[in-house]
Structure 1
Amino acid sequence: MNQKQLLLLPVLFFSFLLSQSGFAQKTLSSTDQSLRYSLYSRLGLKIIPIKLSSTTYKLQFVVEKIEEAPTFETFSFSYALLSSYEQEITSSLTNLLTAQDLVGDTDRHWLFEKTVELPADQSTAIALLTVLDTRQQDEYVIHVDLKGLFVFDQPDFGYYYSNEIPFDQNYLTKGEALLFKTVTKPAIHSYFYPSRFDVPFPPMETRPAEVSKEIKVENQGDFLANIPKQLNDEGYYFFQTDTSSQAGIILKTVHDAFPKVKDWDEMVQMVTYISTRKEHETLLLAQDKKKALDEYWINLTRNPEVAKDLIRNYFRMVEFSNILFTDFKEGWKTDRGMVYIVMGPPQEVNFFEDREVWSYAGIDETSKIRFTFARVKTLLTPHFYTLNRSRAYQPVWFKNISQWRSGRMAF
């Protein structure tokens, strides 16, 4: 691409935005973010904020290169700061990010950093990153609440890969190390939770899930920043520079095979979403889990080749759920992970301040199938969602499970 073409990219980017139908009314809540959950995304986006002062934040825009050897000039990058999910996104709010703004460019990531100042009296602030693929006009979007009803506070530190790119995964393999960097204090305090979680109830089960009366926690004390910190235990960690504050970072540590299945015992747990209660109990009680699972898959399909495709497709969805939705739980055990595995990637995703809504195609516009995940305020993560369950989901849920069991469900 020549210099003249490079100079035209920002113009083309804004021309695209302005030409979109209804752009004048475009808001964060009306923006479809389904590409973030696609099985075929070319990029993965993340915004990692670090609080520098009561009104100043460093925004780390991390773009993962999922596509092999992508070209920077193929994409247009921009960010915006919004005061609500319903604020109109105008060109005056949009700031372009160019090659001159790059602070990191590796085989796996592009990294931009911007320091922003918020008014002291602003109660809600959202950072929005948009990347346009100029080849087919795919628009990748990610956002993060800097301040708001579901955010206690932002941490004043971050953690990084060995090449100092901000850590952008939802999990870390146990035994690996990260580099922590702080803004003010020299040390970070850590807590470790070895908790294991149950599989969620299906969408039509309206009785409340059981809540553990006790959560085991290990106070692991302080460690110094700017020195690689190895995390050796499997569970999840919570880090803070100030234990009296409500700001911190959670990090899930996982087994070596994650996000893939580890062993036959774990595979037995994972097939619960498409199994009858009797089938699952039989698998749980089996002495030889491999043999029991082989019989299970063959009994479902009555065809070894169809069974192989079913296994491959099902555990592909498990893997993507782990990548996308892991928080302090493994992704496949979350409500969003469960729906993702059974229903597949949503055709449309919309975020509101208090909820996330997934839409799947129905017979027509009025018959769309929607799953609403309510946002829950928790100290561990500002992005924790639980499904609003309803008996009305039963027909479509059982239909999809039947398709899985026949080997016909593939995404």
Structure 2
Amino acid sequence: MITKAITKKIPFLLSIFLLSVFSSIEVVGQQTLESTNQALRYSRYSRLSLKIIPVQESPRNFILQIPIEKLEENAVFSDYTFSFTILSSYNQPFTDENLTTLSESDLKLNTQNHFYFEQRIRVPDEQQVAIAFLKVVDTRQGDEYYYHMDLISPFVLGHPNFGAYFGNNIPFDQSFLIQEEALLFKTKGPASLHSYFYPASFEAPYPPMEIKPSPVPREIEVIDEGDFLANIPKDFEKKGYYFIQSDTNSTEGLMIKTAPQAFPRVESWEEMVDMVVYISTRREHEALLEAEDKKIALDQYWIGLTKNEETAKTLIREYFRQIEFANILFTDFKEGWKTDKGMVYTVMGPPNGVTFRQNAEIWTYGDLNSNSKINFTFARVKNILTPNYYTLNRSRALQPEWFKSITLWRSGKMDF
């Protein structure tokens, strides 16, 4: 009797076991922010640039501004599919079932340079973490673009309750604003906003294998510029960064980095000297800094590296193209090339793999399925100026690959 009872139970137990195995396989195969490779967002050949800009109407209510920049000429809406959702964690799967499709009728604007959507959402009171997630698929070759923005999380001190716009009513979706350009601030709250100006400049970061902490200025100059009227254009004339608030007693605000007219390209020979620090020896860089004629010194520097004038020209063009991309992609209150991400991007090139956790962003170089791949981990740090501030986890283990890339640069053999 006992034997018969056990025998009858075996198929039932086996079915439960197999169900749990297949369920776990299905979960492993599903896409999450932690498992999805988002390297395309940093590619030099992307056709779109995605952004989500939250405007926080109340603690749980947001307007999601979704400007999608057209990097290819004459981009056509029907060449892409657009969808979004709100995730509750970085390991929550996103599928066709929980993604909301955005149709052409959902467009708020379709300009020469942008597809622009707006979506109002409410985060349930019991939800502790909320992440706005956007997915765009290029239907021609299947490229998948992703973007996400924390709405509520331990790393977000709050989002502004006003929007900043260019003259064509597209939200300010860049990481910098050229000096003397104007933005229009729209608010349903107070008739005026408050501006602080920081005339700060920063040094280039230490290399990845330098484990001692970078020097931090003990004091940062802050200029209180007072109130200005909303809903009329405001100019930004000075080089540095501004912090705009509707309530100076809160942590919510919008940081705007201003840059010279030439930015994101190089502005001067002096700036070029600063930028070659990543691939120069200390003696070489000190000589460039001390040179009276920076142009002549730089010409001698580049030709000295390659021993060939044509190779030197190619190397210069490629290196400063990397600097330009770093400025576009990674500028925050620092110029993009001076950030940890900008430094790694300039020297190592675009990563093969980019994945996110709530507290970190991981870049992978080399074959993603190989034991020889190398990871650069950027730790996320809470910062009042931006919800997406990262610093590199430095390690001496990164030194061999770093020097290998620098050697390729100096020999004129780096190719992305």
- TM value normalised by structure 1: 0.94
**Residue pair 2:86, 2:132 contacting (<8 A) in 1 also:** yes
CA distance in 2, matches of 1:264, 1:203: 26
- Report matched runs for 1:61-76 at 5 Å: 61-76=66-81
Cα 1:353–1:314 shift into 2, 3 Å? same
Residue in 1 that maps onto 2:310: 305
CA distance in 2, matches of 1:385, 1:24: 28
2:100 maps to 1:109: no
- Report matched runs for 1:140-151 at 5 Å: 140-151=145-156
CA distance in 2, matches of 1:60, 1:23: 32
Aligned length: 391
Q: 3-state SS of the aligned residue for 2:51?
A: strand
Match of 2:331 among 326, 330, 335: 326
**Residue pair 2:322, 2:346 contacting (<8 A) in 1 also:** yes
Deviation at 1:121, TM superposition (A): 2.9
- Report matched runs for 1:204-243 at 5 Å: 204-243=209-248
Cα 1:345–1:139 shift into 2, 3 Å? same
Deviation at 1:92, TM superposition (A): 2.7
Deviation at 1:120, TM superposition (A): 1.9
Q: 3-state SS of the aligned residue for 2:50?
A: strand
**RMSD of aligned C-alpha atoms?**
1.2
CA distance in 1, matches of 2:144, 2:111: 22
| Amino acid in the other structure paired with 1:32 | N
- Report matched runs for 1:109-188 at 5 Å: 109-188=114-193
Residue in 1 that maps onto 2:279: 274
Match of 1:53 among 55, 58, 65: 58
Deviation per CA, 1:133-155, whole angstroms, max 9, x where unpaired? 00110000000000001001111
Deviation at 1:54, TM superposition (A): 2.1
Cα 1:132–1:199 shift into 2, 3 Å? same
Larger Rg: 2
CA distance in 2, matches of 1:363, 1:22: 21
Residue in 2 that maps onto 1:379: 384
CA distance in 2, matches of 1:328, 1:364: 36
4+ residue runs over 6 A deviation: none
Q: 3-state SS of the aligned residue for 1:373?
A: strand
Cα 1:35–1:43 shift into 2, 3 Å? same
CA distance in 2, matches of 1:157, 1:366: 47
Deviation at 1:410, TM superposition (A): 2.0
Structure 2 gaps of 5+ residues are 1-25
- TM value normalised by structure 2: 0.92
CA distance in 2, matches of 1:163, 1:379: 29
Q: 3-state SS of the aligned residue for 2:355?
A: strand
**Residue pair 1:362, 1:369 contacting (<8 A) in 2 also:** no
Deviation at 1:25, TM superposition (A): 2.1
Residue in 1 that maps onto 2:344: 339
Deviation at 1:364, TM superposition (A): 5.6
| Amino acid in the other structure paired with 1:338 | M
Deviation at 1:90, TM superposition (A): 2.7
Q: 3-state SS of the aligned residue for 1:92?
A: coil
Match of 2:261 among 246, 256, 261: 256
Percent same amino acid at aligned positions?
57
| Amino acid in the other structure paired with 2:385 | L
Deviation per CA, 1:10-38, whole angstroms, max 9, x where unpaired? xxxxxxxxxxx978521111111111100
CA distance in 2, matches of 1:92, 1:55: 24
Residue in 2 that maps onto 1:393: 398
Deviation per CA, 1:93-151, whole angstroms, max 9, x where unpaired? 20000000000010000100000011123221000011000011000000000000100
Residue in 2 that maps onto 1:245: 250
Q: 3-state SS of the aligned residue for 2:415?
A: coil
Q: 3-state SS of the aligned residue for 1:282?
A: helix
CA distance in 2, matches of 1:409, 1:22: 40
Q: 3-state SS of the aligned residue for 1:203?
A: coil
Match of 1:36 among 34, 41, 51: 41
Q: 3-state SS of the aligned residue for 1:243?
A: coil
Q: 3-state SS of the aligned residue for 1:115?
A: strand
Match of 1:286 among 264, 269, 291: 291
- Report matched runs for 1:342-361 at 5 Å: 342-361=347-366
Q: 3-state SS of the aligned residue for 2:93?
A: coil
Deviation per CA, 1:143-171, whole angstroms, max 9, x where unpaired? 00000010011110110010111011100
**Residue pair 1:24, 1:88 contacting (<8 A) in 2 also:** no
